[in-house]
Amino acid sequence: MAKTYSIAIDGPAGAGKSTIARRLAKELGYYYVDTGAIYRTVAYFMDLLGISPKDVDGVERYIDELTIEIEYDEDGVQHMIMNGMDVSGDIRTQDISQKASLVSAHAVVREVLLDMQRAVARKHNVIMDGRDIGTVVLPNADVKIFLTADPEVRAKRRYDELIAKGQKANLPTILKEIQQRDYQDSHREIAPLKQAKDAVKVDTSALDIEGVVTAIRDIVGKKIGL
């Protein structure tokens, strides 16, 4: 089989991973895999069944009832198909963000999803973003980037995004949720959020999107050529 290339982008919630990864994937003609969306789909499924994301026995009992497919539309946008139903919009709420963070701590969930993520990377050139891509999912990725920004900056970006969409938002609440998710994601026992030893750290606090894309394009260019 021909070699496939993989670029891993990890980092905390709101660092700009998906915006950057989507842009670069388009430029490079790679598949963009948003792994957070897969955990969100598990959280949404359990939520519909009334299972608490903390209830490890409940999650273990029902995980086999769930089939997840990742599909791409003609614009290369990833869609999450849960038992045949497109739930891509339903998984994007603050409530599901928190529940995905909790459900993702369970070993049974991480094991099932690990195989799914590796299978995509075996078949295609990918830019994959998440929390443990460079450390666990694709330890041999060709490029590893750890994208981060101060929590206050990430909260303000999220706040601006919601306001621009005409939604209500409260900055202190968003900041509290981000800090809580950072803590949960980086303190769990299995595959916690952390920078891989061989990852390049990019702090986006003082950069706009163009600045981040330029910085990352540079790193990718040096490692695998563009």
Q: Does 33 bind ligand DC (CB under 6 A)?
A: no
Burial of 170 (0-12, 13-18, 19+ CB in 10 A): exposed
Residue 35 vs 125, nearer CB to ligand DC: 35
Report how far residue 11's alpha carbon sits from residue 145's, in angstroms, rounded to the nearest whole number: 8
Single out the residue of 78, 97, 125, 135 in contact with ligand DC (rule: CB under 6 A). Answer: 97
Single out the residue of 6, 35, 135, 204 in contact with ligand DC (rule: CB under 6 A). Answer: 35
Residue 69 vs 218, nearer CB to ligand DC: 69
Single out the residue of 6, 41, 78, 101 in contact with ligand DC (rule: CB under 6 A). Answer: 101
Sign of CA dihedral 212, 123, 3, 131: positive
Could you tell me which stretch among 74-82, 100-108, 144-152, 211-219 binds ligand DC (CB under 6 A)? Answer: 100-108
Q: Tell me, what DSSP letter sits at residue 133?
A: I
Q: Where are the alpha helices (DSSP H) in the chain?
A: 17-28, 35-49, 56-62, 94-103, 107-123, 151-164, 171-187, 209-224
Residue 1 vs 93, nearer CB to ligand DC: 93
- 3-state SS assignment for residue 137: helix
Residue 126 vs 225, nearer CB to ligand DC: 126
Q: Tell me, what DSSP letter sits at residue 125?
A: -
Do the Cβ atoms of 193 and 131 come closer than 8 Å? yes
Q: Does 80 bind ligand DC (CB under 6 A)?
A: no
Could you tell me which stretch among 20-28, 75-83, 124-132, 210-218 binds ligand DC (CB under 6 A)? Answer: 124-132
Shortest Å, Cβ 65 to ligand DC: 20
Size of the site for ligand DC (CB under 6 A): 16
Do the Cβ atoms of 114 and 133 come closer than 8 Å? no
Mask for 126-165, x = binds ligand DC (CB under 6 A):
----xxxx--------------------------------
Encode 47-79 in three state secondary structure: HHHCCCCCCHHHHHHHHHHCCEEEEECCCCCEE
What six digits make up the tokens of 148? Answer: 């981060």
Single out the residue of 24, 100, 138, 196 in contact with ligand DC (rule: CB under 6 A). Answer: 100
Shortest Å, Cβ 184 to ligand DC: 7
Residues in contact with ligand DC by the rule CB under 6 A: 13, 35-37, 39-40, 97, 100-101, 104, 130-133, 181, 185
